[in-house]
A and B are shown apart, each in its own frame.
Chain A
Amino acid sequence: MAFKRLGYSDRVMVIIIYILLILLSFTALYPFWNTLVVSLNEGLDTAKGGITFWPREFTWTNYEIVFTNDRILQSFGISILRTVIGTVSAIFMTALLAYGMSKSYLMGRKFLTIFFIFTLYFGGGLVPTFLLIKSLGLMNNFLVFIIPGLISVWNMIIFRTFFKSLPNGLEESAQIDGCSNWGVFIRIVLPLSGPVIATLSLFTAISHWNDWFTPTIYITNQDLMPVQTILRRILNANLINDVIGGGDSLASEKLSKKSLTSKSLISATVMVVSLPIILVYPFVQTYFVNGVMVGSLKE
């Protein structure tokens, strides 16, 4: 519908909507842009203030410090490791469970369905879970990032709904050709589930990458801290030297000169931590959108 054909009141409404949407987009984008600009600005200069849309004294120094800091690099490695291992293993285990649950002849299926769904309504809560993790010896253990999250009941339901919608004939013909149920799952069902696997993997990977809370209660060993938790401690202490300076004499030397100027350094760290998501985001946006649609599927 062309703008010219609209009546007077409609034109006013459309103009107001455009203005509101532009304002909203601006507020959504500005914090990211401002963080980027501050991270590219010289630290001492940032402290003088007034950095909004464009760097005043452009420099890569903040990123150099971040990328040469052992503490941050190590935590970055932990984050990548837990995201990759955690996502692959969780998606496989959940899909496997869902495939079994999609078989109508599975004995105990009714019981198991209630068994799983009940956990969506009721949980033991933070403290009993903490005591359990502790008694399992998962404190200060990398596996605490992986094992408790292997099964997601929500994702199981989504997978199961999808598996049920696959044509039966495919599986039957594979079985006639001598394929076992496991063979069918690995050779037929998984390859056919590409879009669902991609969508659920993305959401799982993001929740792994973004998780800063689990380590604050289960991890005290510095070497096992993922980058989000390190960042949170930097923000909390408000003195970047305390957290990342230890054990790295070069960085602490550089830092002690600029202890007042940590804002640019913090911004650089924030950018580095959010960059993986910002970079992949435009390419996988359709999957994100799919995710909402898949998630709203009913059983």
Chain B
Amino acid sequence: MPQATVKEPDAKNTADYKPIHQRNAFQRWWKQIDIQLMVWPGAILIFVFAYIPMYGVLTGFMDYNIFTGARIFDNPWVGFKHFEAFFSAPQFVTIMRNTLAISLMKFFIGFPAPIILALMLNEIRGRFFKRTVQTITYLPYFMSWVIVGSMVMSLLSTENGSVNMLLQGVGAIDEPINFLSMREYFWGILVTTNVWKDIGFNSIIYLAAISGVNPSLYEAAEIDGATRFKQMYLITIPTIMPIIIIFMILQMGSLLNAGFEDILILAQNPSLRPVSDVIDTYVFRVGLQNQRYDYGVAVGLFRAVVSIVLLTMANYLARRSGNSLW
């Protein structure tokens, strides 16, 4: 092997050569400058686009004036004024109720749905049928909310929307119902659309877990005369239980995450606000569109703090159950 490939062949002979662990920090850092240069552009981007906004949350404790721009400390401190304003706002109770109700409904319906789909797909022996169902049910996941929203509007339209046509056809209703402008239907439409969009894709992880079940367990159960339902109940479900639990715990961490894009798209009718306003859409409307920046920051910060507490708790629970996200 040629000499030149050995690192620093000459340096070893000079008097000031020191092994790498004896040099000072800067020398060692300089020695790996090529690797450092890979990391720092990314670190700077994250600093700018993730950490500077975190510093911006201080404006939630100030009366922010847009003309101060980046010099936010020119603004007067007002303590918890905006937080108190939010907590005593007439919409506060409605917003919190909607946020919790929508996210709980999404959890109780949207969480088990893909598990049930995976269990059903597991009972299908025909490969072609199974693959076709999978391909079709994954598709909506990849569509934007604009596309999904346009389809929902078209289906539910009073002017010959397919749903109204079907309901009139079977005689369930006499007049077309304007579903997307009536409060009592909104949560149902929102949750159904979410389940429709995500059920196939979210089932992938459970299908993968099911495929890890030892086939000899099924064979043994069959010899013992267990029905297919019993095999599902006594073998498949217990085996994938750890994955179900970990996903369930992590879902609980996003309790204040009731949705954003879906609500903006589906609740275009302002008369739906009493049922459609959640924290995120409220921040968007009041904070950005009405330009009450400081108030919007405060409400957003309240949500972020509650979320981080919930997430940390969820991750702690997940760790204790023997699984961890990180």
Contacts and interface: CB of A to CB of B under 8 A. Distances in A.
Do the two chains bind? yes
Interface of A: 1, 6-7, 9-10, 13-14, 17-18, 20-21, 24-25, 27-32, 34-35, 38, 47-52, 93-94, 96-97, 99-101, 103, 105-107, 112, 115-117, 119, 121-132, 135-136, 147-148, 150-151, 153, 156, 176-178, 180-182, 185, 206, 209-213, 217, 228-229, 231-232, 235-236, 263, 266-267, 270, 273-274, 277-278, 281-282, 285, 288-289, 292-293, 296, 298-299
B142 interface: yes
B146 A132 contact: no
Among B123, B135, B142, B326, residue most surrounded by chain A Cβ atoms (within 10 Å) = B142
14 contacts: A21-B120, A24-B137, A28-B137, A34-B151, A97-B38, A105-B32, A125-B53, A125-B300, A127-B297, A131-B59, A232-B146, A232-B149, A270-B150, A281-B139
6 cross-chain pairs, A with B, having the tightest CB-CB distances, nearest first: A124-B53, A128-B56, A49-B160, A97-B42, A125-B300, A100-B38
Contacts, number: 267
B228 interface: yes
Interface of B: 1, 4-5, 25, 28-29, 32, 34-36, 38-39, 41-43, 45-46, 48-57, 59, 69-70, 117, 120-121, 123-125, 129, 132-133, 135-140, 142-147, 149-155, 157, 159-160, 162, 165, 196, 199-201, 204-205, 208, 227-229, 261, 264-265, 268, 280, 283-284, 287-288, 293, 296-297, 300-301, 303-304, 308, 311-312, 324-326
A100 B135 contact: no
A121 B312 contact: yes
A97 B124 contact: no
Given A93-B45, A125-B300, 4 more contacts: A31-B152, A100-B42, A125-B57, A228-B144
A123 B5 contact: no
B72 to A, nearest CB: 9
Given A97-B38, A107-B36, A115 B227 contact: no
B142 A99 contact: no
A235 B228 contact: no
Contact of B140 (A28, A211, A285): A28
